[in-house]
Amino acid sequence: MAQMFTLRPLTIVLPSKKDQNHPVIDLDLHLPFLCFKSRELLQIIASILTEQRMVLFSSDLSKLTLIAECFMLYIRPLRWQHPLVPVLSQQMLDFVMAPTAFLMGCHISHYEEVAMEADDLILINIDEGTVSCSRGHCVDVPDTPKAATQSFKSRRKGLQLHYDLEVVHQSICGDLNEFRMQRRGWQHRLNLEIQNITLELIVNMFRDVSDYLSYEHRVFNTDEFLKTREPEDQPFYKKVLETHIFHSFLTERLNGKMDTFIRMEGSIRKDDQNRWRRPSKEKDLTKHLSTSVANLDNEKSPRVLRQMSPTKIIPGMCKRTAVVLFICTAQFCNRNGI
């Protein structure tokens, strides 16, 4: 149950904890969707999942922490295992020389300096919504799996990211507190929708991982897993399977962790099973209807004959039946003056 208390003029709302590992979110999760197009969003998520060395830039330092934290929530239940320093001062810029994976941020005025400081950096410009590489050298960041990408892009199109457009048809609220509650409710619903979309992205990437786990020996069959991936998706999985993020994720699966990933994966599996059952049901129905049509030759019920067109002769009927239909047709025409 959500908890609410007031520190005038602010009203603080703490959402209920759905499960032990469900984070309390007090962020506007749609901000990265306003800053980046789908292609760049997926590039950043792929960079995080493959544990690249990334630097965020913006002229507004407050955006750095917000955007970084949003992406950390987008990849849940996977968790970033490396240094996260959203704001670097000028004296700390040497940190980008670190050989390990990291996610850091600094003011846009340091962009050129950082770009020339080290190789193999992923440079993320929040202000312009771009993703590039340092020194012009392209870092080998594979694309996210095709099916998961298409689903994400499709669902992103359905998001209404602008509150003013959402409420333009509503009457103007005169009470400031009521207006704030409406705005908070809209943000809460949007956050839930974005969480659902990003979780679905992660589930679509790793939904059948558990099928390749040996719970007895606590191992993951990498070779068999890769064999079942589409050829164009294999570069992504080959990189991800080597990361600390993925190893931690596997450990949680082996330990039987129940979380939102497991619940959504189960729901998708059930939907898939229902889709596979439908063709067989349709086939049985077709077979049943075919049998019923075949038996019409022997059907003598007047009710069936009345439903037939007065001028239609069904192939395969005996001559006597055809004559009866012709006489009925003639009588019908005479009575109606045709």
Q: Minimal CA–CA distance to 208: which of 233, 228, 232?
A: 228
Q: Do 279 and 189 reside in the same domain of the chain?
A: no
pLDDT above 90 for 23: no
Task: Name the residue with higher pLDDT: 79 or 286.
Answer: 79
The predicted-structure confidence for 189-198, as pLDDT tens digits, reads as follows 999 999 999 9
Q: Do 214 and 314 reside in the same domain of the chain?
A: no
**In the prediction, which pLDDT does 140 show?**
85
Q: Do 217 and 311 reside in the same domain of the chain?
A: no
Q: Do 159 and 282 reside in the same domain of the chain?
A: no
**In the prediction, which pLDDT does 297 show?**
43
The whole-angstrom separation of Cα 230 and Cα 144 is 12
pLDDT above 50 for 200: yes
**In the prediction, which pLDDT does 69 show?**
96
Question: DSSP characters for 241-307?
Answer: TTSHHHHHHHHHHHTT--SHHHHHHHHHHHHHHHHHHHHHHHHHHHHHHHHHHHGGGG---HHHHHH
CA 22 to each of CA 16, 34, 73, 76, 186: distance values in angstroms, whole numbers, following the listed order: 9, 25, 10, 10, 20
Contacts of 312 (CB under 8 A, 6+ apart): 325
The whole-angstrom separation of Cα 15 and Cα 185 is 12
pLDDT above 60 for 35: yes
- Alpha helices per DSSP H over the chain: 31-35, 38-49, 61-74, 111-117, 146-157, 163-166, 176-206, 222-227, 234-240, 244-254, 260-294, 302-307, 319-335
Contacts of 152 (CB under 8 A, 6+ apart): 38, 42, 144, 197, 200, 201, 204
The whole-angstrom separation of Cα 265 and Cα 162 is 30
The whole-angstrom separation of Cα 252 and Cα 256 is 6
The whole-angstrom separation of Cα 99 and Cα 37 is 29
* pTM over cut 0.85: no
Strand 130-133, strand 102-107: pairing: unpaired
Give how many domains the chain has, as a whole number. 3
Q: Is the dihedral of CA 120, 147, 18, 183 positive or negative?
A: positive
The predicted-structure confidence for 278-292, as pLDDT tens digits, reads as follows 555 455 544 444 444
Cβ burial of 273 (10 Å; 0-12, 13-18, 19+) is: exposed
Decide if 21 contacts 147 (C-beta within 8 A).
no
Q: Do 77 and 203 reside in the same domain of the chain?
A: yes
CA dihedral of 148, 149, 150, 155, whole degrees rounded to 10 = 90
What is the CB-side half-sphere exposure of residue 119 using CA atoms within 13 A? 4
Mean pLDDT of the chain: 81
What is the CB-side half-sphere exposure of residue 189 using CA atoms within 13 A? 11
Of 2-16, 108-122, 238-252, the range with the lowest mean pLDDT is: 2-16
Mean pLDDT over 162-185 rounds to: 74
pLDDT above 50 for 104: yes
Q: Do 22 and 161 reside in the same domain of the chain?
A: yes
The predicted-structure confidence for 106-120, as pLDDT tens digits, reads as follows 999 999 999 988 888
- Residue with tokens 């003013």, as numbered in its chain: 164
- Residue 283 sits in which domain range? 260-295
Q: Do 211 and 157 reside in the same domain of the chain?
A: yes
Q: Return the amino acid letter for 169.
A: H
**Which residue(s) pair with 5 in the sheet?**
12
pLDDT above 50 for 125: yes
Q: Do 222 and 77 reside in the same domain of the chain?
A: yes
The tokens of 106 are what?
Answer: 């600094």
Q: Do 152 and 280 reside in the same domain of the chain?
A: no
In the three-class reduction of DSSP (H, G, I as helix; E, B as strand; rest coil), residue 103 is classed as strand
Mean pLDDT over 206-235 rounds to: 94
The whole-angstrom separation of Cα 61 and Cα 47 is 22
Q: Do 142 and 162 reside in the same domain of the chain?
A: yes
Calculate ∠ Cα 175-179-180, nearest 5°: 120
Q: Do 178 and 211 reside in the same domain of the chain?
A: yes
Q: Do 231 and 328 reside in the same domain of the chain?
A: no
Domain-ending residue, one of 199, 231, 258? 258
**In the prediction, which pLDDT does 284 show?**
52
Roughly how many angstroms between the first and final C-alpha of the chain, as a whole number?
75
The whole-angstrom separation of Cα 43 and Cα 139 is 11
- The CATH code of the domain that includes 26 is 3.40.50.11500
Q: How would you list the strands of the sheet with 130-133, edge to edge?
A: 84-85, 102-107, 53-58, 121-125, 130-133
pLDDT above 60 for 128: yes
The predicted-structure confidence for 296-325, as pLDDT tens digits, reads as follows 344 433 333 333 333 333 334 444 444 334
